[in-house]
Structure 1
Amino acid sequence: MTPLISIIIPTYNRGYLIGETLDSIIAQTYIYWECIVVDDGSTDNTFEVLNKYREKDSRIQYYSRPKNKPKGANACRNYGFEISKGDYVNWFDSDDIMLPKKLETQIKELHLSTFDFAICQTQVFDVEKKLNIGLRAEKLKSDNIFEDYITYKIFWLTGAPLWKKSFLKKHRVKFDEKLQQAQDYDFHMRILSISQNYFANETHLVMFNIHAENMSKTILDTPPKTFSNIQVKYNILNNYRELLNEDVRKNILNEVGQLYSFIVRKRYKKIAFKTSLLLLLLYKSNGELFQSNALKMLYRTLAPLFYTFLGKGFKLTKLANKIVS
């Protein structure tokens, strides 16, 4: 029996972009697929665009995110997974492009194999300049897969892997619906802590489009995005410290410290307080990395909060840059 692939796409106000993505899916040489588009509450013409594509190809389905699920792409991805019927799953983004042989190539690599998932390379394309920038990552495998993924020496984005649905269901791995950014990084990190049994195809089969909308999205855009990145880094150190060497752990702590410094200066009170507590927990569990005693680390972590909450003592914020010394 020919296996079915479920392509799951979250979307929000991408009516002007998603057509090209769907065209690339319709053009796949492997024809046994369903495409589940889950709308996160679009206010543009996404509904009209999707209706036309549903009329053109019955394999394309269109759903709205259920009201009992939180807003965000992660909830849409998880909902799409829940209602999918395929033996294999390919999450995809509503502004990226599948090359014609993407599904055909990966199903051959994965079906009837012992691999849990298959990954391909991604080509980065600047839409405005109409320029190929190069591969998203230099390579997809290494001798130290988990640590090298954490440190971005190997990397892949959401649309690159094709997953065995049975593997995902067995381990109950879903996207973290609390995160507003770094969700694919977090998802793949958790997968790699379970299994590194994957097939890596160094040929690019996905086009990642850079355009004005996604170029403007950085980890510092909003407090929730900044805290999402802090939370992911906290999870790495809290859950997987035994898989990482001391230099990597210290670098991650340094990154958290730099983000803490930023939110203190911006006076993001709620997440500054939450981050200070996470930092103290990390220092407690990673204290052997530092020469400073516990009292000094406590002072350096909590002192900047005076400026965050009171607007006084700006010099104290400089201590946030010295949290990791």
Structure 2
Amino acid sequence: MNNPLVSIIIPIYNREQTLERCLCSIIRQTYPNLEIIAVDDGSTDHSRVILERYEKKDSRLHVIYKKNSGVSESRNLGLQMAKGDFVQFVDADDWLTRDATSLLLQAMEPDTQLVISDYYRVIGRRIWIKGHIPTSSSMSRAEFAKYMMKSPANFYYGVIWNKFYRMDIIKENQLYFSHDLDWCEDFKFNLEYLKYTSNVQVLTTPFYYYVKTKGSLVDSKIDLKETIRTKKILFGYYKELYQILDMYEENKLKIQSFYLEFARDKVKAPVLPEAPVSPRAGKYRHKEK
């Protein structure tokens, strides 16, 4: 496929202090054939002003404004509007390396349905490299599932922003982000997407800067009843994947240990000196992740 269109979807809610950095990192990608879909989820700060300014600067940026209804609906609306052959998801307080999309496209071979990569985790002005699978390689869905079984709650598997998806799989199977979950809706999306894959390309080259902030959802005290409800829903999809792969009975106890796992992103490499943070970024704010 020559020069495919890549859709990059950005859900936004009150991210005036980090939005410019995010948009700049996308607009400046070395791969130019992009469709950038920014979905403003009813922001009450100056996010709209920033979006309007950048929309005038770059015709590839399309902004959708809606009433506040949550990140899942924002991403779903972005998917409905997307016309690309492939899709990336970026959160508004994070940013990409300049060659991110180019790197992902190179890894997406004709027989590959999903690309997953290590990522940078940013805390203040320090960076860690995060990942789980130790080497770059092409592997079957079953091989990938064996790795995931070891640490299913690892951010590496659960989040969507360190991955690259085929739009035809999403459209043909009507995949979407659940409105029934307040957290881990991205992991549910990944589990459903994996049902329609056969090969996964693993990269150990990080391309995404994930900003870790105080007050994020994973750091907050989530209601125990809601946690149990969410885990029960997720386990149904998790178990189904291993049943499809005919791996459940043999690994039942290990798979059921999913209930004891908590969201985490495992450190893979030592701390690096400083994050290349734009002076325009300002102070980090709360992040719904």
TM-score, length-normalised on structure 1? 0.68
Summarize the Cα distance change of 1:199–1:238 in structure 2 as closer, same or farther, 3 Å threshold: closer
- The percent identity for this pair of structures is 22
Summarize the Cα distance change of 1:246–1:89 in structure 2 as closer, same or farther, 3 Å threshold: same
After TM superposition, what 4+ stretches of structure 1 lie above 6 angstroms from structure 2?
140-143
Q: Which residue of 1 aligns with 2:118?
A: 121
Bigger Rg, which one: 1
Which of 115, 130, 136 aligns to 1:135? It is 130
- 1:18-37 equivalences in 2 (<5 Å): 18-37=19-38
Q: Please give the secondary structure, in 1, of the residue aligned with 2:204.
A: strand
Post-superposition offset of 1:125: 1.5
Q: Please give the secondary structure, in 2, of the residue aligned with 1:247.
A: helix
- 1:132-171 equivalences in 2 (<5 Å): 132-139=127-134, 144-152=143-151, 155-156=156-157, 157-171=159-173
Post-superposition offset of 1:236: 3.7
The count of residues paired between Structure 1 and Structure 2 equals: 249
What amino acid is aligned across from residue 207 of structure 2 in structure 1? L
Summarize the Cα distance change of 1:60–1:221 in structure 2 as closer, same or farther, 3 Å threshold: same
Alpha-carbon displacement from aligned partner over 1:123-154 (angstroms, at most 9, x marks no partner):
1121x2x1112214354777742243254267
Q: Give unpaired runs (5+ residues) of structure 1.
A: 257-325
Post-superposition offset of 1:253: 4.5
Residues in 1 aligned to 2:47 and 2:201: alpha-carbon distance in whole angstroms: 35
Post-superposition offset of 1:34: 1.3
Q: Does 1:13 align with 2:8?
A: no
Summarize the Cα distance change of 1:253–1:205 in structure 2 as closer, same or farther, 3 Å threshold: closer
Summarize the Cα distance change of 1:220–1:212 in structure 2 as closer, same or farther, 3 Å threshold: closer
Post-superposition offset of 1:73: 0.8
Residues in 2 aligned to 1:56 and 1:133: alpha-carbon distance in whole angstroms: 33
Q: Does 1:75 align with 2:73?
A: yes
Residues in 1 aligned to 2:102 and 2:61: alpha-carbon distance in whole angstroms: 18
Bigger fraction of residues in helix: 1
Q: Which residue of 2 aligns with 1:51?
A: 52
Q: Please give the secondary structure, in 2, of the residue aligned with 1:158.
A: coil
Q: Does 1:247 align with 2:253?
A: yes
Q: Give unpaired runs (5+ residues) of structure 2.
A: 263-289
Query: Is the 8 Å Cα contact of residues 86 and 167 (structure 2) preserved in structure 1?
Result: yes
Aligned Cα root-mean-square deviation (Å): 2.7
TM-score, length-normalised on structure 2? 0.76
Query: Is the 8 Å Cα contact of residues 11 and 39 (structure 1) preserved in structure 2?
Result: yes
